[in-house]
Amino acid sequence: MPKIERRERIKINLSPRNSFDLSMTTNRQKHGLAVVEPDNYGHDTTPAAQDLLRTVMIAHLVAPHFPRIIETNFGVEFSEFLTRFYDHYGYQPPKIKRSIEQVGISYAKPTEEKRNTVTTASAHSGGLDSVFRLIRFLERGEDIVAVHLRNLNAKGNFAEAAASQEQCRAWGIPYELVRLKNSSGNTGFEVMKTRDLLLALIVAISTHPRNVSKIVIEGGMSADPTGTQFSEYTGAWEMFNQLLADAGLSSQVEGIDPGDIETVGEILRLEKKLGLSILPLVQNCFSAPFQVGGNRKKWDRVTPILSKNSPEQWCGSCLKCRRMSLGRIYYRDDRLRKMPSREITAFVADTYDWMRKYPRPEMISQSFLDHLHALQDRV
């Protein structure tokens, strides 16, 4: 992976009012990361678990910079996490220095709240893959709780939160929401350096009072550290699961790789088997909400049956929406049974043209290509 221009020193401050509110300044820009909801976040977990979260939050903040010195106004535990993180990208571990003015850490207090024991928790974005995970557990009759982390991503946060909650309400699945204040500046593909580790830890802390033993997130991890982001590396997860145990948390994290276009076919099968409406509730669009209507106008003209029978948040043109449409057409979604061959031909031709212009070809999977080629041959 290409080296970045490292910073010599970054100072990270902990708010005296919220023990999960970190801030830093770079190039006169202020950045921050905080858990702002629910109140008393982390209750009924050990101080060690809360210390671990602060350390992972530090990693998420410094990931774009890899400073040689991290100065803090609070004590940093679990520095081995930062050492492994830096080492993955070929850097010497940072020096942790404490500033003169220190803030005392106020640990979340235990409560009398009783929550039902649930075996498994799923990090739930409301998108296709996280929906697939939930429905598979529902199919097997297993207890599961969905946890949505709002504002982890840079855009689409309101729509994702609303969709994830509506899905769980419709399917009778317990749902928890954790809300971040996120101005970390850690975005784009590079966010995968730390994103899923932060996500998994927040889910682990949120569901600890339920005695959850397994947390499932999106898989596709690699045993080869070369060219792999830290939160996509199996070695990082082995270390991370040990840290969860060391911190007194009850759960271990497992990645489930649902596949790609095949996932749409599986969800269509599960809709029939379980008698549930699933695909219309999926929040699965890369476009900002205000762009969706404009993008759909083309599809209203070119593929009117497909457009009419697609969810309102479907723009039709981004990678995620094309993935959904390709799977629905290929696996013969009943809602598209009146879609004529000329619309299928138009969708295939437009998608080939789009691929030639798409700026991130590495994000187009082999499964996507195989299904698109097969669909072209079919029509």
Residues whose CB is less than 8 angstroms from the CB of residue 303 and which lie 6 or more positions away in sequence, other chains included: 316, 339, 343, 346, 347
Query: What local confidence, expressed as pLDDT, does residue 157 receive?
Result: 77
The pLDDT of residue 67 is: 96
Question: pLDDT at position 2, please?
Answer: 59
Contact 102, 14 (CB under 8 A): no
171 Rama class: left (phi>0) / alpha (psi -120 to 50) / beta: alpha
- Would the pLDDT of 335 be above 80? yes
Question: What is the reported pLDDT for 156?
Answer: 57
Give me the pLDDT at residue 232, please: 93
Amino acid at site 203: V
Strand order in the sheet with 214-218: 95-98, 69-72, 9-14, 21-26, 29-37, 175-182, 144-150, 120-123, 214-218, 252-256
Q: Which two tokens stand for residue 301?
A: 């003209």
State the CB neighbour count (10 A cutoff) for residue 138: 18
Task: Extract the runs of DSSP E, i.e. beta strands, from 4-123.
Answer: 9-14, 21-26, 29-37, 69-72, 95-98, 120-123
Strand partners, 96: 70
Q: What is the mean pLDDT of residues 248-273?
A: 92
Say which range, 2-6, 173-177, 348-352, has the weakest mean pLDDT: 2-6
**pLDDT tier for residue 254 given thresholds of 50, 70 and 90:** very high
Residues sharing a CB contact under 8 Å with residue 171, sequence separation 6 or more, in sequence order: 134, 135, 138, 276
State how far Cα 24 lies from the chain centre.
Answer: 23
The continuous run of DSSP H or E covering 137 comes out as helix 128-139
Q: Which residue has the higher pLDDT, 114 or 157?
A: 157
* Amino acid letter, 300: D
Structural domains of the chain ordered from first start: 9-98 (3.30.420), 120-256 (3.40.50.620), 286-378 (no CATH)
Whole-number pLDDT of residue 14: 97
What pLDDT shows up at residue 155? Answer: 63
Contact (Cβ atoms closer than 8 angstroms) between residue 324 and residue 284: yes
Is residue 3 over pLDDT 70?
no
The C-alpha atoms of residue 266 and residue 262 are separated, in whole angstroms, by 6
**Can you give the three-state secondary structure of 237-297, one letter per residue?**
HHHHHHHHHHCCCCCEEEEECCCCHHHHHHHHHHHHHHCCCCHHHCCCCCCCHHHHHHHHH
Query: Is 323 in contact with 282 (CB distance < 8 Å)?
Result: no
pLDDT band at 237 (very low <50, low <70, confident <90, very high): very high
pLDDT value at 80 more than 80: yes
Average pLDDT over residues 366-377: 96
Model pLDDT for residues 154-191, shown as the tens digit of each residue:
665 788 888 999 999 999 999 999 999 999 988 877 88
Helix (H) or strand (E) holding 78: none
Mean pLDDT on 280-309 = 90
Instruction: Provide φ and ψ at 22, rounded to 5°.
Output: -110, 145
In this structure, what are the phi and psi dihedrals at residue 255, rounded to the nearest 5 degrees?
-95, 130
pLDDT at 145: 96
> Chain-wide mean pLDDT for the chain?
92
Structure tokens at 345: 């031909």
pLDDT over threshold 90, residue 47 = yes
- State residue 154's pLDDT score: 66
**What is the per-residue pLDDT for 50?**
97
Region class of 117: left (phi > 0), else alpha (psi between -120 and 50), else beta: beta
Percent of the chain with pLDDT over 90: 79
Tell me how far apart the alpha carbons of residues 234 and 249 are, in angstroms, rounded to a whole number.
20
Query: Would you give the end-to-end CA distance of the chain in angstroms?
Result: 41
What integer is the mean pLDDT of 323-330?
97
